[in-house]
Amino acid sequence: MSLATRLKPAGPTGFGANSTAEKVTEGLSLKGKTVLVTGCSSGLGAESCRVLSLRGAHVLGTARTREGAERFCAGLQNRATGLACELSDPASVRSCATQIRDAGYKLDAIICNAGIMATPALQQASGYELQFFTNHVAHFLLVTSLLDSIASDGRIVVVSSSYHKFAPKGGIQFDNLSGGRGYSPWAAYGQSKLANILFAKELQRQFAGSKKLAMSVHPGVIPTKLARNTGSAGQRLLNMLAPVFLKTVQQGAATQLFAAVHPGAAVMGGAYLADCNAVRSSRHTVDPILARKLWDVSERIVREL
Ligand SMILES: NC(=O)c1ccc[n+]([C@@H]2O[C@H](COP(=O)([O-])OP(=O)(O)OC[C@H]3O[C@@H](n4cnc5c(N)ncnc54)[C@H](OP(=O)(O)O)[C@@H]3O)[C@@H](O)[C@H]2O)c1
């Protein structure tokens, strides 16, 4: 536990930066619940799956390959199912959704956790900038393909980042979603994480009148494999800062698990959470016209994939 997290007080939910995934689920029985987690084999996804399983949930964990997902799921305490979901490959995402639908699962939560950060040079998937595609479009495709499989009080949790504040000036560069008209690794990451929040906001608007919830979260800053693209200097810096400023993986997974399964989050539909509490996000995230436009554009993108 770092010095900074130790000094931060808990928020109105009773949880804060110090809280771990085990702490926020203490006393909860998730027996009979089914939770889908993308990116199960590393970092925050792995810790989320471990703790969900510990509390009795049936975890559906996805990784790039079925073998990778099954290998990870075999080590979990409770029943767990590994599925392939290579986010940069629409066929893989669709096949994952089809398997879940065909198996007849009712999903109590989906945690859209997998992500990449700051790929140094422009890379594309299906003609779109890779971070936008992996972090946003693929999760949009997965979730919208599974809307009929979500339990009547199911929750969608989209893992975003405080870095959404560093999205390009206008928010989402709709005229440059390929990255071909200019690419900055960090602005592209910020844009993809802004898209995560806008997706959750618009989804929540569409859930109005039901008990379904959509939320987005910032997990904190945690030394995981996410920083692999920042080179060895970036990794060294993270490791140096960890004891003073950073969260542990156990703390980092707490906010997404709070949002996904804690009764206290049932009143937080549409919210953006950090340290297990609803917090403010950038002005772009509360622009319903931008959220609707992103939804419409995302629908068109996945229709054409
Ligand atoms: N760590 C932080 O400080 C921090 C801060 C803010 C937000 N976040 C967010 O938290 C989430 C989890 O990140 P993390 O820190 O746990 O990072 P991580 O350890 O790198 O885990 C990311 C996971 O996403 C998977 N993934 C990446 N690209 C994929 C693809 N194309 N298809 C399928 N799976 C893919 C990775 O699989 P492979 O291992 O096979 O690549 C890995 O399992 C991300 O959305 C990230 O943006 C993290």
CATH number of the domain to which 204 belongs: 3.40.50.720
CA distance 271 to 147: 20
Longest dimension (CA), the chain: 51
Computed from CA positions of residues 34, 146, 264, 7, in that sequence, does the dihedral angle turn out positive or negative? positive
| 46-56 burial code (b ≥16 CB/10 A, e <16) | bbbbbbbbebb
pLDDT of residue 251: 98
Rounded average pLDDT over 101-129: 98
Name the pLDDT band for 232 (thresholds 50, 70, 90): confident
Please report the atom of ligand 1 found closest to the CA of residue 222: 3
Report the nearest atom of ligand 1 relative to the CA of 226: 20
Cα(260)–Cα(161) distance, rounded to whole angstroms? 17
**Per-residue confidence band for 286, with pLDDT thresholds at 50, 70 and 90:** very high
Number of domains the chain contains: 1
The CB of 130 under 6 Å from ligand 1? The reply is no
Higher per-residue confidence, 275 vs 239? 275
Residue 209 CA, ligand 1 centroid: distance in Å: 33
- What CA–CA distance (Å, rounded) separates 43 from 223? 9
Name the residue with the closest Cα to ligand 1, atom 40: 64
The whole model's pTM is what?
A: 0.97
Residue closest to 272 by CA, chosen among 161, 107, 165:
161
Kind plus residue range of the DSSP H or E element containing 42 = none
Average pLDDT score over residue span 47-57: 98
CA 41 to ligand 1: nearest atom: 43
Confidence at residue 138, expressed as pLDDT on a 0 to 100 scale:
99
Catalytic residue numbers read: 183
Q: If pLDDT is split at 50, 70 and 90, which confidence band does 235 have?
A: confident
User: Is 48 in contact with 113 (CB distance < 8 Å)?
Assistant: yes
Predicted local confidence at residue 230, as pLDDT: 80
**Domain containing 129: what range?**
3-304
Instruction: Provide the 8-state DSSP code for 30.
Output: -
